[in-house]
Amino acid sequence: MDSRPEIILTPDDRRDSLRQPAMNVVEIEVELIGGEHHTAEIVDVSRTGLRLRSTYCFRCGSIVTLKPPTGSDLPACRAQIMRQIMLKNQGPENFEYGFQFLDMETGERHSWFLRLRRREAA
């Protein structure tokens, strides 16, 4: 039996940047404009954004603040939810989101990419 998530709604993924899987299980905090906080797991990361998985249903198009993983020295950043898919066969409802970084200098975006991507064994 295949344990991979089944995608119910196929996203139109237009992210051109190289994507790398995230390190093991890395959770970050997503803060909505009203101050509400939810956790999400990083699926993959690129220099322009990242893909997150969460049981919370965020609204597509929302602008949020992403708080970096605990213990990292990465800056918090603003991002916009560009894509949303609902996953099936993952216990409670799970959603995956495509986030695009906003208002970040190139160096800060690159820092998020380098710090959060999975490093393959040499």
pLDDT, mean over the chain: 79
- Burial zone of 61 (CB within 10 Å; 0-12 exposed, 13-18 middle, 19+ buried): exposed
The closest alpha carbon to 73, from 22, 112, 110, 118, belongs to: 112
Answer whether residue 15 shows pLDDT above 60. no
Instruction: Name the more confident of 71 and 7.
Output: 71
Domain assignment present for residue 7? The answer is no
Distances (CA, A) of 47 to 3, 21, 50, 104: 29, 12, 8, 11
Domain assignment present for residue 116? The answer is no
30 DSSP β-pair partners: 38, 66
* pTM of the predicted structure, to 2 decimals: 0.75
For residue 19, what pLDDT band results from cuts at 50, 70 and 90?
Answer: low
- Residue 90 has what pLDDT? 61
Domain assignment present for residue 64? The answer is yes
- Residue 58 has what pLDDT? 93
pLDDT in tens, 35-84: 999 999 988 888 889 999 999 999 999 999 999 888 888 889 999 999 99
CB 79 within 8 A of CB 101: yes
Domain assignment present for residue 69? The answer is yes
Instruction: Name the more confident of 89 and 72.
Output: 72
Give the other-Cβ count within 10 Å of 103's Cβ.
9
Residues whose CB falls within 8 Å of the CB of residue 120, separated by 6 or more in sequence, listed in order? none
Q: What angle do CA 73, 14, 3 make, to 5 degrees?
A: 75
- Give the mean pLDDT of 96-118: 85
Domain assignment present for residue 118? The answer is no
Q: Is 36 helix (H, G, I), strand (E, B) or coil?
A: coil
Answer whether residue 98 shows pLDDT above 90. yes
Answer whether residue 31 shows pLDDT above 50. yes
Domain assignment present for residue 9? The answer is no
Domain assignment present for residue 29? The answer is yes
**CATH number assigned to the domain comprising residue 89:** 2.40.10.220
Identify the domain containing residue 38 by its residue range.
20-110
Number of domains in the chain: 1
